[in-house]
Amino acid sequence: MLLKEKIQAQLPEWRERVRKLVKEHGDIKVGEVNISQIYGGMRDVRGLVTDISYVDPNEGIRFRGYTIPELLEKLPKPEGSESPYVGGLYYLLLVGSIPTLEEALAVEEEWKARSEVPQYVFDVIRALPEDVHPVTMFSTAVLVMQRESVFASRYHEGMKKDEYWDPMLEDSMTLIARLPEIAAFIYRLKYKGGELIPSNPELDWGSNFAHMMGVPDLMYRDLSRLYFLLHSDHESGNVSAHATHLVASSLSDIYYSASAGMNGLAGPLHGLANQECLGWLLGVYDQYHGVPSKDELKSYAWDTLKSGQVIPGYGHAVLRKTDPRFTAQYEFGLKHFPEDDIFKLATMVYDVVPGVLTEQGKAKSPWPNVDAISGALQYHYGVTEFDFYTVMFGVSRILGVSANVIWDRALGQPIERAKSLTTAMLEEIAAKA
């Protein structure tokens, strides 16, 4: 497998780099922790390492050093399309460099060869109660495939530690290959009376998802690939990435770990925000029977805040400017359907809400994050069932978190075990300070 060869070739150098850093500079301090951070969700505590992506508070995400506009320009694309192959993105996340078209297609081919979803996965999803949230279905589907884990079986056969990354890659490739069909299955089962659309082996991974969803407009294929690129990774401290990393650190395989990550993504302050965000936009639209005036929107935003709720899609734990993932989606909408009502409304919210949040003065960032607009784009193409959106986020996020845990294994990261203190101990430390 191409990815395996490419990673293997880099391993000696990477292992030596990390070994040397730890051996020669292991005592050097990179940060401190104060009491507010311990009680404040470990914000800004430097305790993780990843080379796959980095979020600068003002600039936003870079994947392997590349900004989103750079990636949209440089990654290979299907002919006549504007969004890159997801296979090429995965190559970049794992290998660290922009692939050629052939290399991106090699990943796509590898996924095609592994894409058949075993019947038991569909049976398990069908056996769940009808009112189960689609993310629960998705996470369950990921988890149940654990029985096929190559990592788990090789571990029990006594594999050597420096080989751990290899079956982790194997499992990740199989898992990812199956995700588009599993996600589309959940969508069609839950919202389209179970009328399924067979996979089209001619299509790339991202387009095939769009096809199996049953969205007739072919631009939805570009949007799907864009969506999968944008949501894939956001360094290591966010809930889905950290949950996956933490679970994987106990040498659980990717099925256990990614399913845990999906359960974290399901929270309303994380991935579920995109569902809540569209719900909020539609609430505005309903209340004013269409796109409201700016003043009406402002008063709706204040009502939300006064009732003690957050305005979904705005604010971020790290970012302090408009999220470039928001901008990329905003530009897509502006190019393809500027007159769409919900898109216009989302644009107006972008105009109004940062001012409202600034006036309220609580949120450290009043700017939109990735979720503020993604639902409006889905809605335009007829994917209006917004409790499904976090599943799409999950399909994408598994790309990033799996790339991270493959490298965790490759570099021999140990089981994670942070230290906790009691409140009395902290009081004592404070009293002595």
Q: Smallest Cα–Cα separation from 311: which of 240, 363, 374?
A: 363
Nearer CB in complex with ligand AMX: 135/273: 273
Active site residue 316: yes
Write down the catalytic residue from 231, 242, 270, 380. Answer: 270
User: Which helix (H) or strand (E) element contains residue 90?
Assistant: helix 86-95
Q: Smallest Cα–Cα separation from 231: which of 395, 83, 91, 95?
A: 395
CB of 68 to ligand AMX, least distance (A): 15
Q: d(Cα 96, Cα 237) in Å, to the nearest integer?
A: 20
Nearer CB in complex with ligand AMX: 40/412: 40
In sequence order, what are the residues at sequence separation of 6 or more whose Cβ sits closer than 8 angstroms to the Cβ of residue 61?
53, 54, 55, 67, 68, 233, 234, 235, 324, 325
Nearer CB in complex with ligand AMX: 199/365: 365
Nearer CB in complex with ligand AMX: 280/381: 280
Q: d(Cα 134, Cα 125) in Å, to the nearest integer?
A: 10
CB of 321 to ligand AMX, least distance (A): 13
Write down the catalytic residue from 211, 231, 234, 316. Answer: 316
Nearer CB in complex with ligand AMX: 40/69: 40
Q: How far is CA 50 from CA 60, 165, 180, 345, in A?
A: 16, 15, 26, 37
Residue with tokens 């204040």: 302
Rounded to a whole number of angstroms, the distance between the first and last alpha carbons of the chain is 57
Q: d(Cα 12, Cα 74) in Å, to the nearest integer?
A: 28
Write down the catalytic residue from 166, 371, 380, 408. Answer: 371
User: Which helix (H) or strand (E) element contains residue 86?
Assistant: helix 86-95
Q: d(Cα 108, Cα 205) in Å, to the nearest integer?
A: 6
Active site residue 336: no
Q: d(Cα 134, Cα 130) in Å, to the nearest integer?
A: 10
For binding to ligand AMX (CB under 6 A), which residues are involved?
269-271, 273, 305, 310-317, 357, 362-365, 369-371
CB of 296 to ligand AMX, least distance (A): 18
Nearer CB in complex with ligand AMX: 76/394: 394
Helices of type H across 147-272:
150-157, 165-191, 205-213, 219-230, 239-249, 254-265
For residues 318-328, one letter each, b for 16 or more C-beta atoms within 10 angstroms of the residue's C-beta and e for the rest, the string is bbebbbbbbbb
CB of 270 to ligand AMX, least distance (A): 4
Nearer CB in complex with ligand AMX: 126/364: 364
| 225 close to 86: Cβ distance less than 8 angstroms | yes
CB of 139 to ligand AMX, least distance (A): 16
| 324 close to 67: Cβ distance less than 8 angstroms | yes
Nearer CB in complex with ligand AMX: 392/410: 392
56, β-bridge pairs: 60
Q: Catalytic positions, please?
A: 270, 316, 371
